[in-house]
Structure 1
Amino acid sequence: MDFLDTYSIKARLFPALIAVLPAFVLFLLAGSWKDPGLPEAMTALGIGVLFYAMADLARRAGRHVQRKLFKESGGFPANTELSHLDTTLDSGTRDRFRNFLARQIGKTAPTRESEVADPAGAAQFYVECYNYMRNNTYDTERFRVLFNENISYGFRRNLYGLKPYGIAINLLAVLAAYGLYRYQPPFATLSQGKIFIQGGFALFHALYFIFAVTRGTVLDASKTYARQLTMCCDVLIRETTA
């Protein structure tokens, strides 16, 4: 039943549903709904299995895309919001978060001068700080906003990973629709009007994948998640000092 948890449904199953929509539309258009029989039942079962398989594929494709994106940018992106040299947050908030995390991990927080003189040492300090925050923000109720941002990132990453599959399914669905119209097999029929519906849907679906599912949307979601992870330090501070 792990497949039915909130993250799996929203970040894995939903991208899979979007990717296979052309096949589902073809099923609805070509099926005999006045007198459904075994072909419709078997096709419905097959689509259900396809959704599960595509959800698993979305997870694997998303991870592949993530590794590729991070490799192109020089490795896994580092959180830099706590650095003296980063101006995303105001200096007072950075100092408050940095000093709190230094106490939690038992290290001395770097100064601006030490960051410049020893960037590798400062980077290691911030890695430990963010590891601490990640390890202490698993509670999805206490850190609901962070959890939602993680879902948003997972959804965009996995959908981007499915982009070539989504476009290919569009093409295959149009070809299958034409074949059903041309040869009129006994198990499914399509009229000329339904062919245009399938083709129009496939066109808009393909345009969505081409122009809306992009590398930039994945990176933007990654940055938003990283920013929210930093802001979770406020919750940790309140709970520690309460």
Structure 2
Amino acid sequence: MPFDTFDFRARTLPMIVVWFPVVLTATLIAAASPAVYRAWTLLPLPLILVLTVLAAHLGRDAGKKVEGPLWASWGGPPATCRLRWTTAPNPILHQSLHANVQSLIGGQLRLPTKEEEAADPLHADQVYETAVRTLIARTSSKDTYPKLKNDLVWYSFRRNLYGLRKVGYILDTLLALASTAVIVTIVRTPFDYTLAVPIVGIFAAIVSAVFFYCVVTADWVRHSADAYADELVKHAHIVASTTVE
């Protein structure tokens, strides 16, 4: 059975990015101290596996908490927005899209017309969300739709990392303060220890904080969300054709 990397890339990797400055500094400390290094290398494999599973759940939970507010600020879930008449750039192509999606969801649930959407936007969005869920279920195979699956992975990665920003800021602050305290201790006392490790700790904390502030933004997440939504909607025609056949 092949290893599914979805959990690792989408959920565990964001936690690794957040904790990387701390782990890097801890590794350098272990390397500089033989006693600590021996304990570090004996870290049992079961503990590593437990931490990996825990990281996956914490990463996903953090992303889910911010997903709702992000969607609200964007005007709704990206895939749902793609089905709205009000945001359709080309009415003719949009009509074709609705026809393909309608063939997927069947006759029990009818997609609203432009007039019906304008009269009751809330109900229209509920229908669109149902249609999107059906389309997602029909395109869940990573072997049949590899690009779509990959776009979903990286959207989830960005969303989860965005949700972990506050944790990242806290860890970076604590690491910078602890490293500064170590430098002061080394300078003012006869404590025999290299300055390189705490300096690296401060540098890693600063780089991480700048990364979260400048790169991990709502726009960064939205770019990936839009890419996934566009790819998902594009497959409506493919899935509809397959269903008819």
Q: TM-score, normalised by structure 2?
A: 0.78
Pairs within 5 Å for 1:30-109: 30-32=29-31, 35=34, 37-41=37-41, 48=48, 50-70=51-71, 79-88=80-89, 90-104=90-104, 105-106=106-107, 107-109=109-111
Closer, same or farther: CA 152–83 of 1 in aligned 2, 3 Å: same
Distance 1:15 1:167, change over 3 A: same
Distance 2:51 2:112 in 1: 52
Is this contact kept in 2: 1:24–1:47, CA < 8 A? Answer: no
Tell me the CA shift for residue 71 of structure 1.
Answer: 5.3
The residue that corresponds to 1:139 in the other structure is: 141
- Once structures 1 and 2 are overlaid, which stretch shifts more, 36-45 or 148-157? 36-45
Matches within 5 A, 1:114-193: 114-120=116-122, 122-180=124-182, 182=185, 190-193=193-196
Task: Within 5 Å, give how 1:22-33 maps onto structure 2.
Answer: 22-32=21-31
Deviates more, 1:118-127 or 1:98-107: 118-127
- 2:78·2:226 contact (CA, 8 Å) conserved in 1? no
Preserved CA contact (<8 Å) 1:7 1:151: yes
Q: For structure 1, which runs of at least 5 residues remain unmatched after alignment?
A: none
Matches of 1:121 and 1:102 in 2, distance apart? 16
Structure 2 stretches lacking a partner, 5+ long:
none
Matched residue count:
235
Shift of 1:180: 5.0
Give the Cα separation in 2 of the matches to 1:65 and 1:163.
11
Measure the CA separation in 2 of the matches of 1:160 and 1:28: 26
Distance 1:40 1:179 in 2: 23
Alpha-carbon distance in structure 2 between the residues aligned to 1:53 and 1:171: 23
> Which secondary structure state, in structure 2, belongs to the residue aligned with residue 14 of structure 1?
helix
Alignment of 1:11-30 (within 5 A): 11-30=10-29
**What TM-score comes out, normalization by structure 1 length?**
0.79
- RMSD across aligned positions (CA): 3.3
The letter of the residue matching 1:27 is A
Instruction: Give identity over the alignment, percent.
Output: 26
8 Å CA contact retained: 1:13, 1:54: yes
Pair 199,75 (structure 1): closer, same or farther in 2 beyond 3 Å: same
SS in 2 for 1:80: helix
Report deviation, 1:84.
3.5
Secondary structure in 2 aligned to 1:98? Answer: helix
